[in-house]
Amino acid sequence: MTTRDKPVLVIGGGLAGSEACWQLAQRGVPVTLIEMRPTRKTDAHHTDGFAELVCSNSFRSDDPEGNAVGLLHEEMRRAGSLILTMGDRAKVPAGGALAVDRDEFSGLVTKALTDHPLITIERTEVEALPDPDDWDSVIAATGPLTSAALTQSILDVTGEAQLAFFDAIAPIVHFDSINLERAWFQSRYDKSTDGGDGKDYINCPMDEAQYNAFIDALINGEKTEFKEWEKNTPYFEGCLPIEVMAERGRETLRFGPMKPVGLTDPHSDARPYAVVQLRQDNKLGTLYNIVGFQTKLKYGAQTEVFRSIPGLENAEFARLGGIHRNTFLNSPRLLDPVLRLKARSSIRFAGQVTGVEGYIESAAIGLLAGRFAAEERLGLTPSRPPVTTALGGLLEHITGGAAEETFQPMNVNFGLFPGLPGDETKKTRKRGRDRKAALSARALEELGVWLDGSSRAAAA
């Protein structure tokens, strides 16, 4: 067996692991994918499918000019992403966002990987980082629910003291239990990216008294108690439980997930004081998730508190919210520029465990890890994307752009991009939408050069 024919081991069949497998196999490199489900279940997954979405069904904005995550979508499409290909096939209405039917999406990804002749799938738990003598190329993409045994192995190899924080899940409601005599369909500012009617969200309005009563109920509701060993685990700021946000100030939610801007209640022809939005969760339109309502309230409290929302008085829940432990590395300290573990270069990390936050960001790092490992197998030097791209900016952040001392998970955003020509003076510096459009145009142009160069190198 030549080096090229030796399989790369991918641990974890989430978004990042699935994407990494696809990138390797599409370049002619054999892959062994190990996924512990269903042999070992997690606190958040419900199926044994690959790329199961355990929180929201949204990949967020699909606008490649005005939003950094929309740009990342487009870059990944051009780079041959499995996750974006199947996401586009399984999409459901979501205004300016890309949201998917989560079951169809996972089914499509699972079939693509299962059917690929270069991908071998094993269902078992990996309890320790593999020895280089056994596997000389490994991608660990075990995600936010890395098992305790493997987490301990990572701690032992890296010398780290902690790899965990808490993440939370929002509830899902049956559509036919929503009171549309009180709620209504509308996207903010009637926005839609796919030629829709601008009515992709269900909105539940609150007046000032209702809002204040709701905040009190959130703060006073019975909440999940953590185990003793979990009590020092921090939350990730980008996915706080809604009641934790409420405790930070009475108006926090009204300027966050419950902001009423861009919406008019057709029942009163007025803008509500606050609004709760629900987004379609499956293609049939039978399920809607409550946007931004990740929670650690106990189930009984959730039912009581969320049924106090106008329009959800008789809500039936397909799934209540919950909280689970998340895991990530201090990547600027532990990983080299092409995602290899400095302490053991045979192992790459990919996905949310590297300290990116969000479905698409996790898949993006899986895409890069798969490309890098494939290039090594083909005898090439791994080629990093330009830092002017969303892929490159995200990679740079986790492998050296962020400070080790304060490193926290990060969503892709235009703050990760280098400046534009003309930024030297206020007069010539682009701002707002024009700046984002210019950053995006530069990114896609330089991404094309990078992709062309990688293709020529592989062909040679």
Say whether pLDDT at 358 is over 60: yes
pLDDT class of 365 with cuts at 50, 70, 90: very high
Residues 145 and 179 in one domain: no
All residues at 6 or more sequence positions from 407 whose CB lies less than 8 Å from its CB, including other chains? 330, 331, 332, 333, 355
Say whether pLDDT at 226 is over 60: no
The predicted-structure confidence for 44-60, as pLDDT tens digits, reads as follows 556 779 999 887 889 99
Q: Look at residues 407, 415, 15 and name the one whose alpha carbon lies nearest to residue 234.
A: 407
Residues 46 and 16 in one domain: yes
| Count of domains observed in the chain | 2
pLDDT class of 251 with cuts at 50, 70, 90: very high
- Stated as kind and residue range, the H or E segment containing 39 is none
Is residue 273 left, alpha or beta, with left meaning phi > 0 and alpha meaning psi from -120 to 50?
alpha
Residues 184 and 309 in one domain: yes
pLDDT class of 431 with cuts at 50, 70, 90: confident
Which percentage of the chain shows pLDDT scores above 90?
62
Domain boundary (323, 339, 364) is at 323
What is the Cα–Cα distance from 186 to 191, expressed in whole angstroms?
A: 9
Weakest-pLDDT range from 34-43, 74-83, 257-266, 426-435 = 34-43
Q: Tell me if residue 57 falls in helix, strand or coil.
A: coil
Domain boundary (323, 354, 376) is at 323
Mean pLDDT confidence for 363-390: 97
Task: Give Cα 439 to chain centroid, integer Å.
Answer: 22
pLDDT class of 349 with cuts at 50, 70, 90: very high
Structure tokens that stand for 412 in this block: 């892709």
Range of the domain at 159: 3-163+328-459
Residues 191 and 149 in one domain: no
Mean pLDDT confidence for 315-332: 82
Residues 382 and 252 in one domain: no
Between these two residues, 121 and 169, which has the higher pLDDT value? 121
pLDDT class of 313 with cuts at 50, 70, 90: very high
Residues 275 and 388 in one domain: no
pLDDT of residue 14: 94
CATH number at residue 388: 3.50.50.60
Say whether pLDDT at 1 is over 70: no
What is the Cα–Cα distance from 417 to 413, expressed in whole angstroms?
A: 8
- Stated as kind and residue range, the H or E segment containing 326 is strand 322-327
DSSP class of residue 233?
A: P
pLDDT of residue 457: 83
* Residues flagged as binding site for FAD: 12-17
Q: Look at residues 389, 373, 388 and name the one whose alpha carbon lies nearest to residue 75.
A: 389
* Residues flagged as binding site: 12-17
Contact 417, 439 (CB under 8 A): yes
With 0-12 / 13-18 / 19 or more C-beta atoms within 10 angstroms meaning exposed / middle / buried, residue 140 is buried
The predicted-structure confidence for 334-343, as pLDDT tens digits, reads as follows 999 999 999 9
Between these two residues, 355 and 442, which has the higher pLDDT value? 442
Domain boundary (323, 342, 368) is at 323
Highest mean pLDDT among 55-69, 324-338, 411-425, 433-447: 433-447
Say whether pLDDT at 228 is over 50: no
Mean pLDDT confidence for 208-231: 81
What is the Cα–Cα distance from 203 to 190, expressed in whole angstroms?
A: 12
Contact 218, 243 (CB under 8 A): yes
Residues 231 and 303 in one domain: yes
pLDDT of residue 459: 79
pLDDT class of 252 with cuts at 50, 70, 90: very high
Residues 293 and 424 in one domain: no
pLDDT class of 229 with cuts at 50, 70, 90: very low
Say whether pLDDT at 225 is over 80: no
pLDDT of residue 423: 85
CATH number at residue 308: 2.40.30.260
Mean pLDDT confidence for 201-229: 87
Task: Give Cα 105 to chain centroid, integer Å.
Answer: 14
Residues 18 and 147 in one domain: yes
Say whether pLDDT at 354 is over 60: yes
pLDDT of residue 109: 98
pLDDT of residue 320: 87
Say whether pLDDT at 195 is over 90: no
Structure tokens that stand for 247 in this block: 């405790």
pLDDT of residue 238: 58
Residues 371 and 283 in one domain: no
For the chain, what is the mean pLDDT?
89
Which percentage of the chain shows pLDDT scores above 70?
91
What is the Cα–Cα distance from 351 to 367, expressed in whole angstroms?
A: 9
Between these two residues, 278 and 328, which has the higher pLDDT value? 278
Say whether pLDDT at 200 is over 60: yes
Say whether pLDDT at 288 is over 80: yes
What is the Cα–Cα distance from 100 to 408, expressed in whole angstroms?
A: 27
Say whether pLDDT at 232 is over 60: no
Say whether pLDDT at 230 is over 60: no
Say whether pLDDT at 385 is over 90: yes
Contact 318, 172 (CB under 8 A): yes
What is the Cα–Cα distance from 246 to 228, expressed in whole angstroms?
A: 24
Residues 442 and 411 in one domain: yes
Contact 98, 72 (CB under 8 A): no
Residues 198 and 185 in one domain: yes
Weakest-pLDDT range from 184-188, 325-329, 455-459 = 325-329
Mean pLDDT confidence for 395-417: 84
Could you tell me where the DSSP H helices lie in 160-288? 208-220, 242-247
